[in-house]
Amino acid sequence: MENLVQTAMQNVNFAAIMPSLVLACFSMALLLINAFSRRGATAHVAGISLLALVVTGFSALSAWNNPQVGFAGHVVLDNYAVFFTFVFLISAALTVFMSDAYLKREGYPIGEFYSLILFSTVGAMIMASGTDLMTIFLGLEILSVSLYVLAGFFRGSKKSNEAGLKYFLLGAFSTGFLLYGMALIYGVTGTTNLVDIGSHFSLSPQSAMNPVAIAGMMLMATGFLFKIAIAPFHMWAPDVYEGSPTPITAFMSAGPKAAAFAALMRIFLVSLSSMQTTWETAFWVLAVLTMITGNFLALNQQNLKRMLAYSSIAHAGYAMVGLVAANAIGISGVLYYMLAYSFMNIGAFAVLVLIGKKGEENLTLDGIRGFGYKRPLLGVLLTICLFSLMGIPPSAGFSGKFFIFAGALNAGFVWLAILGVLNSAVSLYYYLRIMVAMYFKDPEEDFEWIKLTPGATICIVISVIAVLYMGILPSGIMSLARQALL
Amino acid sequence: MITITHYMVLSAILFSMGTVGVLTRKNAIVVFMCVELMLNSVNLTFIALSSHLGNMDGQIFVFFIMTVAAAEAAVGLALMIAFFRNSDSIDVEDFSLLKW
pTM greater than 0.90 (yes/no): yes
- The verdict on residue B96 lying in a domain is no
State how many domains chain B has.
1
CB-nearest partner of B39 from A138, A176, A306: A176
Interface probe with B: pick from A144, A154, A165, most Cβ of B within 10 Å: A165
Strands (E), A43-125: 68-70, 75-77
Query: pLDDT higher for B96 or A294?
Result: A294
Q: What is the mean pLDDT of residues A110-137?
A: 95
Q: How far apart are CA A20 and CA A84, in angstroms?
A: 13
DSSP 8-state symbol, A116: H
Delimit the domains of chain A by residue range: 7-483
Least Cα distance to A339 among A124, A68, A85, A57 occurs for A85
Q: What is the mean pLDDT of residues A79-92?
A: 96
Listed in sequence order, the residues at least 6 apart from A47 whose beta carbon sits closer than 8 Å to its beta carbon are none
Are the beta carbons of A111 and A34 closer than 8 angstroms? yes
pLDDT of residue A1: 63
Residue A351 CA, distance from chain mean position: 19
pLDDT of residue A448: 66
Are the beta carbons of B72 and A141 closer than 8 angstroms? yes
Does the N-terminal peptide bond of residue A454 adopt cis geometry, omega within 30 degrees of 0? no
Buried b vs exposed e over A353-374: b needs ≥16 C-beta within 10 Å?
Answer: bbbbeeebebbbbebbbbbbeb
Percent of chain A with pLDDT over 70: 99
Percent of chain B with pLDDT over 70: 96
Residues of A in contact with B41 (CB under 8 A): 180
Q: How far apart are CA A433 and CA B30, in angstroms?
A: 43
Distance from CA of B83 to the nearest CA of A (A): 5
Q: What is the mean pLDDT of residues A35-58?
A: 91
Length in residues, chain A: 486
Least Cα distance to A136 among A60, A228, A224, A22 occurs for A224
Return the sign of the alpha-carbon dihedral for residues B31, B36, B38, B41.
Answer: negative
- Residue A132: phi and psi, rounded to 5, are -145, 145
Least Cα distance to A287 among A396, A180, A418, A378 occurs for A418
pLDDT tens figures, A332-342? 999 999 999 99
Does the N-terminal peptide bond of residue A19 adopt cis geometry, omega within 30 degrees of 0? no
Listed in sequence order, the residues at least 6 apart from A436 whose beta carbon sits closer than 8 Å to its beta carbon are none
- The verdict on residue B100 lying in a domain is no
Please give the torsion angle defined by the CA atoms of residues A47, A50, A52 and A53, in that order, rounded to the nearest 10 degrees: 180
Residue A446 CB-half CA count within 13 A = 0
Residues of A in contact with B22 (CB under 8 A): 169, 173
pLDDT of residue B24: 92
pLDDT tens figures, A137-153? 999 999 999 999 999 99
> Reduced to 3 states, what is the DSSP secondary structure of residue A110?
coil
Does A301 sit within 8 Å of B98, measured CB to CB? no
Q: How far apart are CA A39 and CA A34, in angstroms?
A: 8
ipTM score for this prediction: 0.96
Please give the torsion angle defined by the CA atoms of residues A455, A456, A459 and A465, in that order, rounded to the nearest 10 degrees: -120
- What confidence tier does B98 reach under pLDDT thresholds 50, 70, 90? low
pLDDT tens figures, A262-275? 999 999 999 999 99
- What confidence tier does A285 reach under pLDDT thresholds 50, 70, 90? very high
Distance from CA of A190 to the nearest CA of B (A): 7
> Reduced to 3 states, what is the DSSP secondary structure of residue A364?
strand
pLDDT of residue A20: 95
**Nearest Cα residue in chain A from B49:** A187
Give the range of the structural domain holding residue B80, as residue numbers without chain letter: 4-91
Residues of A in contact with B78 (CB under 8 A): 149
- From first CA to last CA, the distance across chain B in angstroms is 54
- Residue A228: phi and psi, rounded to 5, are -80, -15
Q: Is B100 on the interface with A (CB under 8 A)?
A: yes
Residues of A in contact with B68 (CB under 8 A): 137-138, 141, 145
Residue B68, domain CATH = 1.10.287.3510
pLDDT tens figures, A206-260? 888 899 999 999 999 999 999 999 989 999 999 999 999 999 999 999 999 999 9
- The verdict on residue B82 lying in a domain is yes
Q: What is the mean pLDDT of residues A381-408?
A: 94
